[in-house]
Amino acid sequence: MTFRRKKVKDDYNRYEIILLLVTQLGYIPIASTMLMTTYYEPSKEFCMHVNNNNSLAEAFEEWNENEFYSLTVQTGEACTEKSSQVTTRAATVLMIGTLIGSFAGGALADNFGRKPVVLGCLMLVCLGNGAICFAATVHWLWEYVNTVQLCLGIFCGGYMVSNFVLLTESFELKRSRLLAVSLNGWSISLIAVGMIAQLTRHWLKYHFCVSLIASILALTCHFKCHESCRWLATIGRLEKAKKVALQIASENGNEAEKDIMWYEVIGFSPIKEMSVDVKRCKLMLKNRSFQKDVFVMVYCFTAMSAVSFGYYFTLDSLPGNRFVNTSLMGLLKFITGFVPFFCWNLVPRRYIATFSIGICVICTISISLIKIFSPSNNEWLLVALALTVSAGMDPAWKISHLYTAEIFPIEVRSIARGVCNVGARLGSVFAPTIIHLRSQRTYLPDSIFALLLIFQTCIMLLFLPQENVQNARNETSEEKKEMVASSQL
């Protein structure tokens, strides 16, 4: 007799928990790589100290309070007129790489599998950070650092697309996928980024540490994670899907019969098996409903990414300890990320996402007004509002990720997510340039972010799919009844 996954606890067995930990902890080296330029520019106080001492190295030895010995300090480009341009260029190169990687990663994951892309990206992030350590210590290789950063961006973009699909395809229930989205590792990784930077305080140690973490996670992924059974069945590799399903069942401590289908082995509902072909993909791309969903999700990802990375890149200008601010931003994002999970059977997800963005609109407008009329007297209020924007974006991020895992068919899911993530990466490419506008008018970046979010609010209200909340309540009620019945037995 076969079993079916009917409750969240049925979806979160030993293997699924390991997969969740590996894929989400994998965001630590990814976030550390993508946000390395956050620590490029020293504080204004440090640069004033440099001007008095005329030497970056001497000034850093004397002034080591809450400062990070970055690559720009190493090369003597910090605290100069072109310092901001160097940081903007490096951040833009990284984000362009993630844009390329997002599209390429989705296509590769649909054609060659989810696990090879996840594993390959982690390994290459490990090698890339090691290459930065090597290139930056050899004078004539320094000019190639931007090329390494571009490649690192590609690997990061590929990972961010493929790891989510590999994870969500291992769950049967919608609520299980929502919990996985709520546990997304990006927010935890922000905390880790702040801690790594605080502990190392030096670019060489920082990149070495990131490389080491990536190598450990890559090895764990290789030995502990399996290919997606759903993807294997979709491309017609049923025997391989059955073999992987038996391995997963064994690791979860379940005994399975040999003469049943692969999805019965791991407790999934019957899944339609089909092969991915180019003609079907082309027909789907011409479908107006599909095009509308893609447009909506691409814009949402673009706007949210521009705002999110915009406030990541302003950490260097916020008062206080930037390492603490980074970690605090991650902690707040982690907390607010659970809002969709706890409210899923009370309020439609579309309204949760819209309310989340609405709060961010209010905060970005407030920041703009404060910077126009009274910036010097409200520095800590600016910090609080900036952290609120970053945290407030997280529920909308979680719901948007979940939509991309549900509204697109499985055979083109990674490609569709890749297209959506191209939008996200476009936003991150624009973010450094938008932030650079603060050199003209301090309030310009926040005003632009407010306009992007206002338009997103309208789009989400008009076009996001409307789910039936009553169905979610019934599903939760059924789970509770089954739990009561099993406890009585």
CATH of the domain at 122: 1.20.1250.20
pLDDT value for 409: 67
Residue 360 has pLDDT above 80, yes or no: yes
What predicted TM-score, i.e. pTM, was given to this entire model?
Answer: 0.82
Flag whether 2 is in a domain: no
CA angle centred on 340, ends 483 and 289, rounded to 5°: 110
Give tens-digit pLDDT for 46-62: 777 776 656 676 777 77
Flag whether 488 is in a domain: no
Count: domains in the chain: 1
Residue 129 has pLDDT above 90, yes or no: yes
Give tens-digit pLDDT for 168-196: 889 988 888 878 878 888 889 999 999 99
Residue 221 has pLDDT above 90, yes or no: yes
pLDDT value for 444: 92
Residue 254 has pLDDT above 50, yes or no: yes
Flag whether 489 is in a domain: no
pLDDT value for 151: 92
Residue 392 has pLDDT above 70, yes or no: yes
Flag whether 333 is in a domain: yes
Place of tokens 């605290």: 79
Q: Which domain holds residue 334?
A: 8-483
Using a 10 angstrom Cβ sphere, with 0-12 exposed, 13-18 middle and 19 or more buried, the burial of residue 205 is: middle
Residue 20 has pLDDT above 90, yes or no: yes
Average pLDDT, the chain: 82
Flag whether 28 is in a domain: yes
Please report which confidence band the pLDDT of residue 64 belongs to, taking 50, 70 and 90 as the band edges: low
Please report which confidence band the pLDDT of residue 340 belongs to, taking 50, 70 and 90 as the band edges: confident
Please report which confidence band the pLDDT of residue 476 belongs to, taking 50, 70 and 90 as the band edges: very low
Rg (CA), the chain: 23
Gap between the Cα atoms of 59 and 53, Å rounded: 6
Give tens-digit pLDDT for 442-471: 889 999 999 999 999 998 888 876 654 444
Gap between the Cα atoms of 266 and 1, Å rounded: 12
